[in-house]
Amino acid sequence: MSVKNECFLLKLFNCNILRNGKIIKEDLWVRNGKIVDPEKIFYDEKIDPDDKIDCQNCIISPGYIDVQINGGYGIDFTHNVENVEEGINIVAKKLLAHGVTSFCPTLVTSPTETYKKVLPKIKKQEGGEHGATVLGVHIEGPFISVNKKGAHQELHIKGFPDGFKTLMDMYGSLENVSYITLAPEIDNACDVIKELIKQNVKVSLGHSIANLKQGEDAVKAGATFITHLFNAMLPFHHRDPGLVGLLTSDQIPKDKIIHFGIIADGVHTHPAALRIAHRTHPDGLVLVTDAISALGLAEGRHRLGQFDIDVRFGRAYIAKTETLCGSTADMATCVRIFKEATGCSVVEALEAATLHPARSLGIENKKGVLDFGADADFIMLNESLEVLSTWIAGKRVYCNIKSLTDELNQLARQ
């Protein structure tokens, strides 16, 4: 289907739409790349749609949003310094097959030269047939704890001796940055957080040995996110629960939601831990892939930032070690694993990859929802939550021919 002009009106019917915390049987109307209110069309404009699509009772969800992804399909955003734009475009296009319509390319701990070369080249841009929307860079490091460095090279890990100046000297610019992950226990961290918030950059806490008090102080300074909960932080302890305790802290302002990323790839987080996180603070849970360059590729030797990576039996390790270092799972798979592990509803599973990441970024008025006036970025799913097609700005940018054929054949047999 091709849009004839900017006023082209599309009606999707026989669909089950995720809207306002429910899946409802309702038509979806799209015009000018936005979701439109059909009542105004019926009663005010009194016009018919230019085209109609029978959705065969599939689920229509907002497109998935991945706020932490290091690369995929042989591309590592940190390592591919000379061909950054090409790498971003390749991954953005491939992500459409997994229902991802927006993402934050993520850079791991690196020398300052890398940031100054890469950051200016990863510009925020709207998605389309060329690929998913780039929402801004998520910089993970180098201001983290050497004790919880994970797959971050210790040589390049830094503190804040000169506060915010140290950060700016490291990155060069924050123009294309949406998120920064840092360890709140580092000296001057809270002052840096306050300045980042003034610069409209979101702050996430992670790769840290912070205690709960240090985490709470960081939140009061403006931090709003926790990077891959349970991973690269102190384990929960009943006398000081560390950053995990932020999920139930009574020191968090009542009007503030702490969001937290969690990797539901069947490797990084045990199903019981997924259940604990979901039942403790469901509104803050954000599914992330933390995917690396090996996403979509065969097992073997790959790259993440400064390290060689070995993928063995579906797990990614720093080469010649047993240290986990990112995921090889796509977002659609994470949604299905999360739902199965927690026993949550379809709505809860989908909102963890749509509404919640949008809220964490403060863009829920246009992304992660199917409200009237929002961007028409959505996906069609079957009952097993497999992606049938992906749409950006009301245009179909990916179609899973095999799944779609299977669905139609099944309907024909009924």
Is 129 labelled as part of a ligand binding site?
no
- Number of Cβ within 10 Å of residue 298's Cβ equals 7
Is 79 labelled as part of a ligand binding site?
no
Is 16 labelled as part of a ligand binding site?
no
Is 232 labelled as part of a ligand binding site?
yes
Measured between alpha carbons, how far is 99 from 400 in angstroms, rounded to an integer?
10
Listed in sequence order, the residues at least 6 apart from 158 whose beta carbon sits closer than 8 Å to its beta carbon are: 142, 143, 166, 170
User: Phi, psi (5° rounding) for residue 93?
Assistant: -70, -45
Is 359 labelled as part of a ligand binding site?
no
Is 239 labelled as part of a ligand binding site?
yes
Single out the residue of 66, 68, 132 nearest to residue 353, CA to CA: 66
Residue 402, Cβ density class (10 Å: 0-12 exposed, 13-18 middle, ≥19 buried): exposed
Measured between alpha carbons, how far is 28 from 23 in angstroms, rounded to an integer?
12
Single-letter residue type at 240: D
Q: How remote is the C-alpha of 319 from its chain's centroid?
A: 26
3-state secondary structure of 79: coil
Maximum separation of any 2 CA atoms in the chain, in Å = 69
Is 207 labelled as part of a ligand binding site?
yes
Single-letter residue type at 403: S
Is 316 labelled as part of a ligand binding site?
no
290 is a catalytic site residue: yes
Single-letter residue type at 105: P
Single out the residue of 94, 42, 50, 52 nearest to residue 69, CA to CA: 94
3-state secondary structure of 100: strand
CB-facing half-sphere around the CA of 143: CA atoms within 13 A: 30
Identified catalytic residue from 66, 76, 265, 290: 290
Measured between alpha carbons, how far is 203 from 56 in angstroms, rounded to an integer?
42
Is 228 labelled as part of a ligand binding site?
yes
Measured between alpha carbons, how far is 255 from 48 in angstroms, rounded to an integer?
43
Binding residues: 140, 151, 207, 228, 231-232, 239, 268, 324-326
Binding residues for Zn(2+): 140, 207, 228
Active-site annotation, residues: 290
Binding residues for substrate: 151, 231-232, 239, 268, 324-326
